[in-house]
Amino acid sequence: MTAPALATRGLDKSFGSLIVASGIELVLPPGVRYALIGPNGAGKTTLINMVTGMLQPDAGRIVLGDDDITALPPEQRVRRGLVRTFQINSLFPHLTALESVTLAVCERRRAARIWWRQLTAYGHEVDEAYEILSSLMLAAVCHRLTRELAYGQQRLLEIALALATRPKVLLLDEPAAGVPRDESAELFAAIAGLPGDITVLFIEHDMELVFRFASRVIVMVGGRILLDGTPQEIAADERVRAVYLGQAHGKAFDRARQDSHRGSHHESRHG
Amino acid sequence: MAVSSSALAGPHQYLQAQIRWRPIEIAFWLATLLPFVLTPNYLVLASQIAITALFALSLDLILGYAGIVSLGHAAFFGVGAYSAGLLSKWGWGEPLTGVIVAGLAAGLLGYLVSFIIARFRHLALIMITLGFGLLLVEAANSAGWLTGGADGLQGVHMWPLLGTFQFDLYGYTAYCYALIVLFLCFLLSRRLINSPFGLSLRGIRENIIRMRAIGAESRPHIRTIYTIAAVMAGIAGAILTQTTETVSLGSLDFQRSADILVMLILGGTGRLYGGLIGATIYLIARDQFSGINPQYWYFPIGILLILVVLFLPNGILGGLARLAETERGRRWLGPLTAPSWRGKFP
Amino acid sequence: MITSVLGVLFDGFAYGMLLFLLSVGLSVTLGMMNFVNLAHCTFAMIGGYVSVTLMNGAGWPFLATLPIAFLAAAAISVAFERTMFHRLYRASDLDQCLLTIGVVFVSVAVTAYLYGTSQQPVSLPNYLRGSLHVAGLTLGVYRIFLIVFALAVTAALVWGLEFTRFGAQIRAAVDNQRMARGLGINVDAAFAIAFALGSGLAGLGGALAIDMVGLDPSFALAYLVYVLIVVAVGGLGSIGGSFAAAMLLGISDMAGKYYFPAIGSFLIYLVMISLLMWRPSGIFGRR
């Protein structure tokens, strides 16, 4: 049996008397698409912050593949293949899209220390950056400054930056947040097109995304994991409907599930 | 914005076009030769401008590109100046080796300090650079046996450059020397900015949190650029010593750190040429108004600073850049209009 | 030996109190709005010159000039804040530094033009001159006055912060600006008032400083460094921190000048750098 791509054991975190995480046991098998859902304040982003090293847990361990990474700083975790995107864009406003991704590629390949050779000598890195941008439909705007890109394109650039680091485990923090409807088609296609060997965990509120792309769903409430199952199991579970949606919203849940089934047949229309 | 041919160009061609030398840059460097012809009486001033421009360039590398606000950068200028002076005083007056030794001395200090610099940000960083600069002034003042204290270093005498060109009162040799060194350092800086390292610096400046999230370690980068900037500042200081055959506490005091910051802001940070232009304008103005009582000199400087911050935030070059926000403008002005950063420190 | 130590401590304490008055306003406004106001000591200088003008020009007694110094500095600072500073609250640290330094440069030049560059004479009332002999120590009367006065002001300040509603609003805004706004606190108004108060205190400090350290146009820049040290070391937004740092700086400076005159201010800078390296947010700072 292969080691899980990412696992956490007994993660705890509290701020004074506010418990934001309690006994989190997470196991992500390689290649699986996981969705992490839960009401606001459930501790989802806190969990991501702890896993990526931006926040220190009070107790518990984090294991990436075969390695215990609990003590590693964030940069080291990225180098081992654990990468995240941000819910609120965290980009380089005055770099072009191509420069941003090239930067990430150069850092990965440790070319970024070289100050005596011009960027034009780094054809491979530029090509790789361009390829990543192309796969996310950003090739046409690769020379635009990041701050001039449309919001949906900036969200895609977030993912492009993460892909440039050749992640093994990719954590997407609400990738579709704030993206207007007419730009979300490209975003969905990009997420669907992510390489199959990357393990993906995405936090989402958009149920359509969840049902379309996740093979498993984790539900977090009040700092604890409530349930871990397939989308169908989650949708049918009474506790989830009560806690997360309230009975009145159960119908919306069902509708989203049906829409996504219909939607997946029509994906080629949006491509 | 309309999509023009350059946007559809392949990425390699685009990068090539970005780092190509623009005609206006060539015009700039040709213009630096004008003083020989047009104003031969002002070559001493011209050499001062070249030296200060080099110093400003070194500050731009850490401030405009890596986002490090330093109120003590004159420390390295002064260390370079005193090193070159001491070397000559102790019997070795050859200029070129003197510059190299001075650069190494300043670089060594810069390297050691960079370990501290790289660990801090915001107000703590500003205060540490300020404190470090002030510390060095006190040390230089107290170590009168070495530095000559408030009287300055005596006995600096330079041998002729390359064996034939003697430094004289007319400044001909001085300006040639300073200009050539400035140009070489400029070439180096330009190359550095357009390297992967330069890209990383801009990443640090723009969003240091994201740098961590893509697996980049900022501290080694900051240490490297700080050291390089220290070397360059030291070289500038050394040339000042060599061309004027004097060194004083003024080479490393707070006044010098503050003045160079003002010049760089005036010209515009993060554009390589900003420091050069700022230094030129500032020093010419100061020379023209040298009749005025020195304490009143800071009145127009103060007004200028206020106006620049309120109305011309990226300095003169920034203002030009906004005028040239067109495709053609970008082609013509190229690196001069490369976007600078404006915003809270990360 | 002990008498000299106590003497140095006493002088250092007086100097520290002065530094505290000069710095507390900057610490609070930096902590509240993150606005780097390098012109803070300009307001101190204005207070000093107002006091001098009233004393030498209009014959006012020294103590009567103190409240005017406070008010003048506060009023002028509000004028600057409303016309220029408030535009830069969201600007970068560097821009704020540059604008306020520009104000300092202008103020230094204007002051030099109006008053000349020599030290301003101050005529203290007779009961504030001379020294007292207490337990074998010779204590300057003015310094005793300074200490008592500054402690009273500090007490009033602390009382105001802890026990009034406005004080609570300021503390909330320093702690978490966004949250304070969310609670309906008018942070901008609170800041404007805090800014005026802080500048007024600086003006008061400037007037009190004349007899102790002298007053000339370079005051605005020379003491800026000390004030910045106090603020950085004490921690932004922390009154207790400013107090502690001011004491530390005042006593170290006096001790340094007394016992190691050759080193000058070297010790101060070294202490500051070391403290900042140990605690970058200041001894009592947050984050």
CA atoms in the 13 A half-sphere facing the CB of B238:
30
d(Cα A246, Cα A241) in Å, to the nearest integer?
6
d(Cα A234, Cα A249) in Å, to the nearest integer?
14
| Cβ-based neighbours of A229, under 8 Å, separated by 6 or more | A216, A217, A237
Residues paired with B46 in a beta bridge: none
Confidence of residue B83 (pLDDT cuts 50, 70, 90): very high
Query: Touching check for B192 and chain A: CB below 8 Å?
Result: yes
What mean pLDDT value characterizes chain A? 83
Whether the pLDDT of residue B295 is over 80: the answer is: no
Query: Touching check for C116 and chain B: CB below 8 Å?
Result: no
| Cβ-based neighbours of C176, under 8 Å, separated by 6 or more | none
Residue B343 falls within a domain, yes or no?
Answer: no
Yes or no: say if B278 and B316 are a contact pair by the CB < 8 Å rule. Answer: yes
Structure confidence by residue, pLDDT tens digits, A141-183? 988 899 999 888 899 999 999 999 999 999 999 888 888 777 7
Model pLDDT, residue B167? 77
Model pLDDT, residue A254? 65
Model pLDDT, residue A261? 59
What mean pLDDT value characterizes chain C? 86
Arch. (CATH architecture) of A6-270: 3-Layer(aba) Sandwich (3.40)
Q: Residue C63 is part of which domain span?
A: 2-278
The tally of domains found in chain B comes to 1
Tokens 């593949």 appear where? A65
Q: Residue B115 is part of which domain span?
A: 5-337
Residue C31 falls within a domain, yes or no?
Answer: yes
The tally of domains found in chain C comes to 1
Confidence of residue C19 (pLDDT cuts 50, 70, 90): very high
Structure confidence by residue, pLDDT tens digits, C228-255? 889 888 888 888 889 999 999 899 888 8
Residue B346 falls within a domain, yes or no?
Answer: no
Contacts of C94 in chain B (CB under 8 A): 63, 69, 265, 345
Pick from B105-119, B196-210, B310-324: least confident: B310-324
Tokens 């006995």 appear where? B155
* Domain locations along chain A: 6-270
Model pLDDT, residue B340? 43
Residue B269 falls within a domain, yes or no?
Answer: yes
What mean pLDDT value characterizes chain B? 85
* Chain A: partners with 3+ C-beta pairs within 8 Å: B
User: C5-32 as b/e, with b when 16 or more CB fall inside 10 Å?
Assistant: eebbbbbbbbbbbbbbbbbbbbbbbbbb
Q: Of the candidates A204, A215, A129, which has an alpha carbon nearest to the alpha carbon of residue A174? A: A204
| Chains A and B share 3 or more Cβ pairs within 8 Å | yes
In this structure, the number of other CB atoms found within 10 A of the CB of residue C123 comes to 13
CATH code: domain of residue C182: 1.10.3470
Model pLDDT, residue C239? 86
Q: Of the candidates C138, C124, C237, C143, which has an alpha carbon nearest to the alpha carbon of residue C191? A: C237
* Chain C: partners with 3+ C-beta pairs within 8 Å: B
Query: Touching check for B24 and chain C: CB below 8 Å?
Result: no
Model pLDDT, residue B338? 52
Mean pLDDT value across residues A212-228: 86
The token pair at B138 is 């006190």
Angle at A130 between CA A129 and CA A136, to 5 degrees: 95
Whether the pLDDT of residue B222 is over 90: the answer is: yes
Confidence of residue B224 (pLDDT cuts 50, 70, 90): very high
Residues of chain B numbered 75-104 and touching chain C (CB < 8 Å): none
Angle at C146 between CA C145 and CA C150, to 5 degrees: 115
d(Cα C118, Cα B64) in Å, to the nearest integer?
39
How large is the C-alpha radius of gyration of chain C?
19
**C101·B303 Cβ contact <8 A:** no
Contacts of B262 in chain C (CB under 8 A): 98
How far away is chain B from the Cα of C263, in angstroms, using its nearest Cα? 7
Amino acid identity, residue C111?
T
| Chains A and C share 3 or more Cβ pairs within 8 Å | no
Whether the pLDDT of residue B335 is over 60: the answer is: no
Whether the pLDDT of residue B329 is over 60: the answer is: no
Residue by residue, what is the 3-state secondary structure of C214-267? CCCCCHHHHHHHHHHHHHHHHCCCCHHHHHHHHHHHHHHHHHHHHHCCCCCCHH
Mean pLDDT value across residues C8-26: 92
Model pLDDT, residue B257? 92
Query: Touching check for A122 and chain B: CB below 8 Å?
Result: yes
| Burial degree of A179 (CB within 10 A; 0-12, 13-18, 19+) | buried
Model pLDDT, residue C286? 62
Mean pLDDT value across residues C57-61: 85
**C102·B301 Cβ contact <8 A:** yes
**Considering chain C, what percentage of its residues have pLDDT values greater than 70?**
98
Tokens 């103005």 appear where? B285
Pick from B6-10, B266-270, C38-42, C50-54: least confident: B6-10
Structure confidence by residue, pLDDT tens digits, A57-116? 888 899 998 888 998 998 899 999 999 999 888 999 989 999 999 999 999 998 888 888
Model pLDDT, residue B332? 58
d(Cα A130, Cα A127) in Å, to the nearest integer?
5
**A111·B196 Cβ contact <8 A:** yes
pTM: 0.85
Model pLDDT, residue B200? 93
Model pLDDT, residue B87? 92
Contacts of A113 in chain B (CB under 8 A): 196-197, 220-221, 224
